Amino acid sequence: MEQEQILILDFGGQYKQLIARRIRECSVYCEILPHTTPIEALIERHPKGIVLTGGPDSVNEPDSPTYTANLFRLGVPILGICYGAQWMAKTLGGAVEKADVSEYGHANLWIDAADSALLRGVPAQTSCWMSHTDRITEIPDGFCITAHTEHCPVAAMEDAKRRLYGVQFHPEVVHTPDGATMLHHFVREICGCEGSWRMSAFAQTQIDALRNQIGGSRVLLGLSGGVDSAVAAALLSKAIGKQLVCVFVDHGLLRKDEGDEVEAVFGQGGGFELRFVRVQAQERFYQALRGVTDPERKRKIIGEQFVRVFEEEARKLGAIDYLAQGTIYPDVIESGVGGAVIKSHHNVGGLPKNVSFRGIIEPLRPLFKDEVRAVGLELGLPASMVYRQPFPGPGIGVRIVGEITPEKVRIVQEADAIFREELTRASIDVSKGQFFAALTNLQSVGVMGDARTYASAVVLRAVMTDDFMTARAARLPYELLDTTMNRIINEVRGVNRVFYDLTSKPPATIELE
Ligand code: XMP
């Protein structure tokens, strides 16, 4: 049976990823396509509905993004958002003009048509999130106005007969409190989607598809210990068993016991059929990093060594047909829809150059992070692995200021393990941020057991963030910080001070290197 789907045509909108999220939350599969996608390609996919995104341009500019008007002859329900709505209005014979007042942010929204299939059940007065300069001044024939704001006479319009809808505001953002309801109405009622998108079904379909695609070939996957490569490994293992070779490079910069945890899941007796190779490359990395203090140089060395070790292992394995990667949908969107992706997290130094293979396999490419997690649980991965915090590719290497030594790695690993234990004990939700210990290059005087010490200072870093682009220090309970500090001082040799980093990003970064 064909997967029912909604297609999102991208006119350059900054919230396109959110639109896709909201639609998937209605249990409906959707994908974002660039507005340069030929209409034939759209038709081939038999979408149940189409959403036109917003965008930064003005439809009245000559070079602004556009699409063939034949789109409206497909008979498929269409929802235009912001620029998408303006383009719909203009293309169908209405008018769009520059408004006297730009509307940004919160606006009161009055519903003018309570019987609208899109707006049904929404309070007569609600609010919405606006971000526009142009506005629709004339609606096309067959349309009616279904909502307005103070500065925007056409905040929503529709031609129910042709199932064409336009909204000037952004229903996909949380600041439009009834936005999710409107999107639900659009995909489930107007487009008639049943809501059949389930992770269990995805896993089974994907396993069958992988089996067909790969046949008797061999696949190589680099395991990082992170969620994405682990779920990719689990899926491939179910599909092709021992034809899958997973190489796990232990670069000596992992969190405490992480290498063993990965081996427990994917190694002998772990319940997944595959060939697991753990490369103990710690010494080699430490050697290459000796005496290096510059953060960028350290990253470069870690990346280069990683690729070299990976290539050496690949060569030992003989002919490999496919290289698998744990690319997920946000990676695809961030690198430009439809473009090639090299996931740095899994290929710390880029793709291996000296391994030849026929193609790349990316079994998680259509999924968002929480969907990847759901698939992981579905396939029997332990929750501790599925819900683990994000961890940078270069690992603890970016959590040590100055030269990296095995001794410093030990300090960070132990302090970090204590911090994570205490966070768990205090039931702190770590899912919306990053929480870890790092090591400064400060050595200072202390006193322990009546003796003078000259030892290191550990930093506890705990930030809350939505997108990892900006972040704020978490307001952790003082008791938790106090207990963590005490335990680190008492249990981790070589530490006599513990700081809590209050700095936000910007001006700091999340990591400390
Ligand atoms: P910064 O420190 O730049 O980090 O504020 C932002 C987010 O990116 C992660 N990060 C990395 N992730 N490879 C990765 O896969 C890397 O080289 C890398 N460097 C930073 C960092 O942990 C944070 O979540």
Report how far apart, in Å, the C-alpha atoms of 66 and of each of 59, 298, 332, 333 are: 8, 46, 23, 20
pLDDT, one tens digit per residue, over 252-305 is 999 999 999 999 999 999 999 999 999 999 999 999 999 999 999 999 999 999
3-state secondary structure at position 390: coil
Q: Residue 172 catalytic?
A: yes
510 lines ligand 1 (CB under 6 A): yes
Q: Which residues lie across from 437 on neighbouring strands?
A: 460
Cα of 35 to ligand 1 centre, how many Å? Answer: 31
Cα of 467 to ligand 1 centre, how many Å? Answer: 11
What pLDDT is stored for residue 35 in this prediction?
96
Instruction: Count CB neighbours of 75 within 10 A.
Output: 8
Catalytic residue among 4, 103, 158, 172: 172
Mean pLDDT on 105-123: 96
CA-closest residue to ligand 1 atom 14? 392
The pairing of strands 164-167 and 78-81 is parallel
501 lines ligand 1 (CB under 6 A): no
What pLDDT is stored for residue 67 in this prediction?
98
Does position 335 have pLDDT exceeding 70, yes or no?
Answer: no
Catalytic residue among 170, 184, 185, 346: 170
- Average pLDDT, rounded, for the chain: 93
Cα of 511 to ligand 1 centre, how many Å? Answer: 7
pLDDT, one tens digit per residue, over 138-167 is 999 999 999 999 999 999 999 999 999 999
Does position 428 have pLDDT exceeding 80, yes or no?
Answer: yes
Percent of the chain with pLDDT over 70: 96
Cα torsion angle, 411, 416, 419, 420, sign:
negative
What pLDDT is stored for residue 192 in this prediction?
98
- Listed in sequence order, the DSSP H helices in 253-328 are 258-266, 282-289, 295-317
344 lines ligand 1 (CB under 6 A): yes
Mean pLDDT on 185-207: 95
What pLDDT is stored for residue 81 in this prediction?
98
Residues 6 or more apart whose CB falls under 8 angstroms from that of 332 comprise: 338, 339, 341, 365
How far is 409 from 289, CA to CA, in rounded Å?
A: 12
Q: Residue 35 catalytic?
A: no
Q: Which atom of ligand 1 is nearest to the CA of 509?
A: 5
Q: Which atom of ligand 1 is nearest to the CA of 303?
A: 17
Does position 124 have pLDDT exceeding 60, yes or no?
Answer: yes
Does position 344 have pLDDT exceeding 50, yes or no?
Answer: no
Q: Which residues lie across from 50 on neighbouring strands?
A: 7, 78
pLDDT level of residue 1 (50, 70, 90 thresholds): low
Ligand 1, pocket-test mutation among 399, 468, 469, most atoms within 8 A of CB: 468
Give the residue carrying structure tokens 């639900």.
184
Structure tokens at 202: 């995805």
Cα of 397 to ligand 1 centre, how many Å? Answer: 11
Percent of the chain with pLDDT over 90: 85
CA-closest residue to ligand 1 atom 22? 392
Give the residue carrying structure tokens 């200021």.
401
What pLDDT is stored for residue 339 in this prediction?
44
Does position 321 have pLDDT exceeding 70, yes or no?
Answer: yes
Cα of 336 to ligand 1 centre, how many Å? Answer: 20
343 lines ligand 1 (CB under 6 A): no
pLDDT, one tens digit per residue, over 42-77 is 999 999 999 999 999 999 999 999 999 999 999 999
CA atoms within 13 A on the CB side of 248: 26
How far is 183 from 10, CA to CA, in rounded Å?
A: 17
Does position 245 have pLDDT exceeding 60, yes or no?
Answer: yes
What pLDDT is stored for residue 346 in this prediction?
41
Q: Residue 513 catalytic?
A: no
- In the chain, the domains with their CATH numbers are 5-190 (3.40.50.880), 199-386 (3.40.50.620), 399-501 (3.30.300.10)
pLDDT level of residue 213 (50, 70, 90 thresholds): very high
At 353, give phi and psi (nearest 5°). Answer: -90, -25
pLDDT, one tens digit per residue, over 433-483 is 999 999 999 999 999 888 999 999 999 999 998 778 889 999 999 999 999
Does position 217 have pLDDT exceeding 50, yes or no?
Answer: yes
Q: Which atom of ligand 1 is nearest to the CA of 508?
A: 5
Cα of 401 to ligand 1 centre, how many Å? Answer: 15
Read off the pTM: 0.83
350 lines ligand 1 (CB under 6 A): no
pLDDT, one tens digit per residue, over 485-508 is 999 999 999 999 999 999 999 999
Q: Which atom of ligand 1 is nearest to the CA of 390?
A: 24
